[in-house]
Chain A
Amino acid sequence: MTSAELTLDRTRGNALPGDFAIWIFIFAELGVFALLFLAYAFTRAGDVELFNASQSLLDRRSGAVNTLALITSSYFVVQAVAAIKRDRAAVCSRWLIAALGMGTVFIVVKSAEFYAKFSEGVGLDTNTFYMFYLSLTFFHYMHVWMGMVILSVVAWKAAQGHYHAGAHTGVETGASYWHMVDLVWLILFPLVYVIR
Chain B
Amino acid sequence: MNTTTNHSTAATRIWLVLVALTVLTWAVGESHLGGPVIVTVVLATAFVKGQLVVEAFMGLRQVRALWRIIMFAYLLLVCALIGLGYAVGLQ
* Complex CA distance for A30 and B78, rounded to whole angstroms: 10
A12 to B65, CA, bound (A): 8
Interface stretch among A118-126, A131-139, A144-152, A183-191? A183-191
Question: Are B59 and A71 in touch, CB under 8 angstroms?
Answer: no
B63 with A14: CB separation less than 8 A: yes
Q: How many residues of A contact B (CB 8 A)?
A: 54
Query: Measured between alpha carbons, how far is A72 from B88 in the docked complex, in Å?
Result: 35
- Tell which of B1, B58, B86 has the most Cβ of chain A within 10 Å: B58
Contact A11 B62 (CB under 8 A): yes
Asked if A60 lies at the interface with its beta carbon under 8 angstroms from chain B, I say yes
A193 to B46, CA, bound (A): 13
CA A17 to CA B61, docked complex, whole Å: 11
Residues A64 and B22 in contact, CB atoms below 8 Å apart: yes
From the candidates A27, A42, A67, A179, name the one contacting B57 in the complex (CB within 8 A).
A179
Task: Point out the residues of chain A lying under 8 angstroms from B33, CB to CB.
Answer: 196
B81 at the A interface (CB under 8 A):
yes
| Contact among A45, A78, A176 with B89 in the assembled complex (CB-CB below 8 Å) | A45
Task: Say yes or no: B22 contacts A71, CB within 8 Å.
Answer: yes
What's the dominant secondary structure at chain B's contact region? helix
A41 with B85, Cβ < 8 A, contacts A78-B57, A179-B57, A190-B42 known: yes
Which of A11, A60, A187 is within 8 Å of B30, CB to CB?
A60
A195→B53 contact, CB < 8 A: no
A residues contacting B by CB (< 8 A) are 11-17, 27, 30, 34, 37-38, 40-42, 44-46, 48, 52, 56, 60-61, 63-64, 67-68, 71-72, 74-75, 77-79, 81-82, 85-86, 172, 175-176, 179-180, 182-183, 186-187, 189-191, 193-196
Please list 28 pairs of residues, one from A and one from B, whose beta carbons are closer than 8 Å in the complex, sorted by A's number: A15-B64, A17-B59, A17-B63, A37-B82, A38-B82, A40-B85, A45-B86, A46-B89, A60-B26, A61-B26, A64-B22, A64-B29, A71-B19, A71-B53, A75-B11, A75-B12, A75-B57, A78-B57, A82-B8, A86-B1, A172-B59, A179-B58, A183-B53, A187-B79, A194-B28, A194-B42, A195-B34, A196-B33
Which B residues form the contact surface with A (CB < 8 A)?
A: 1, 4, 7-8, 11-12, 14-15, 18-19, 22-23, 25-26, 28-30, 32-34, 39, 42-43, 45-46, 49-50, 53-54, 56-60, 62-65, 67, 70, 74-75, 77-79, 81-82, 84-86, 88-90
